[in-house]
Amino acid sequence: MNSLRFLSVVIALTLTIGGSAYSVNYALLLDGKDDHVSCGINDLPLGNDPRTIEVWFRTESPDGYQHVVGYGTAGTVDSALAIFTLGGSIVVTQWGASVEIPLVINDGEWHHGAVTHDGKNQQTVYVDGELVGNWDRVLDSIATTCTIGCCLNQGEQFFSGTVDEARIWDVERTEDEIRDNMNISLIGNEPHLVSYWKFDEGDGNTAHDSAVAGNDGEVNNSPEWIASDAPVMPMSVDAAGKLATTWARVKRIE
């Protein structure tokens, strides 16, 4: 059985098992002018502790620096870790220093971005599950602000595009770990998962944190909730473990 047919069977079985446990998968479309999400900061990794930040994004405009997701303290060198876009490049910044990696990410397609920190002196950047660069830098994180869609000072570098499935972990995830579940909607109780914004509310002014920290986000300036076509498999609550395992196997078969 080829992987595509196998995946179709898995989806059909999971829909049958999960039934009404499914909900529509939404994402948040930001206008690049003032739309953003201000999230809580409970239990986010601090100092030089290891961590991983992940997000699915699709750009609408290539102009200028655009903050996708990150946290720290505006204006304090090395206190932050955040993912930006700049034209066709992905940028990782710690406030006061940054690395720009030229890629084709302003193509109107969904892309998965991730940055890890090893708890020592190295950050590693992944796009669409592939390692694209790394650099040496010690962190001294101070979590006073966590934002999705705008700079930490919440007054500039707004993201123009769609965001979905933002996650923060308190561990440096490996390339295999990132690749194996970037296409799966998680439960929220996975080990080391601190905060997780699915954006599946579909309306309202709150993006709930589905993980343990409870860092719900305030949705500012009325961005548009849209049905998401990000390549993320929605998960039935009843079949969660089985589906996650099966999807990882399918990804390895391809």
Query: Which strand ranges, in their side-by-side order, compose the sheet holding 217-220?
Result: 98-102, 89-93, 81-86, 65-72, 145-148, 36-39, 217-220, 206-207
Tell me whether residue 35 is exposed, middle or buried, using C-beta atoms within 10 angstroms of its C-beta: 0 to 12, 13 to 18, 19 or more. buried
- Give per-residue pLDDT as tens, 49-58: 999 999 999 9
Cα–Cα distance, 159 to 149 (Å, whole number): 5
pLDDT tier, 63 (very low <50, low <70, confident <90, very high otherwise) = confident
Residue 6: pLDDT over 60: no
Tokens of 94: 């710690």
> Which has the higher per-residue pLDDT, 126 or 154?
126
- CB 235 within 8 Å of CB 243: yes
pLDDT tier, 23 (very low <50, low <70, confident <90, very high otherwise) = low
Say what the pLDDT of residue 242 is.
Answer: 43
The vertex-202 CA angle with 201 and 208, nearest 5°, equals 20
Residue 143: pLDDT over 90: yes
Residues near 69 by Cβ (< 8 Å), separated by ≥ 6? 53, 55, 82, 83, 147, 148, 149, 163, 166
- What is the rounded average pLDDT of the residues 201-225? 97
DSSP classification of residue 71: E
pTM passes above 0.95: no
Helix and strand element counts for the chain (H, E):
3, 16
Q: Which residues, listed in sequence order, are joined to residue 116 by a DSSP beta bridge?
A: 52, 124
Residue type, 225: W
Length of the chain: 254
Closest CA to 5 of 252, 182, 250: 250
State the residue for tokens 């707004």: 158
Q: Which residues, listed in sequence order, are joined to residue 51 by a DSSP beta bridge?
A: 117
Residue 180: pLDDT over 70: yes
User: Residue 81 in 3-state DSSP?
Assistant: strand
pLDDT tier, 235 (very low <50, low <70, confident <90, very high otherwise) = low
User: Considering the chain, what percentage of its residues have pLDDT values greater than 70?
Assistant: 83
> Which has the higher per-residue pLDDT, 246 or 105?
105
Please provide residue 45's backbone torsions phi and psi, each rounded to the nearest 5 degrees.
-60, 135
Closest CA to 223 of 147, 122, 167, 129: 147
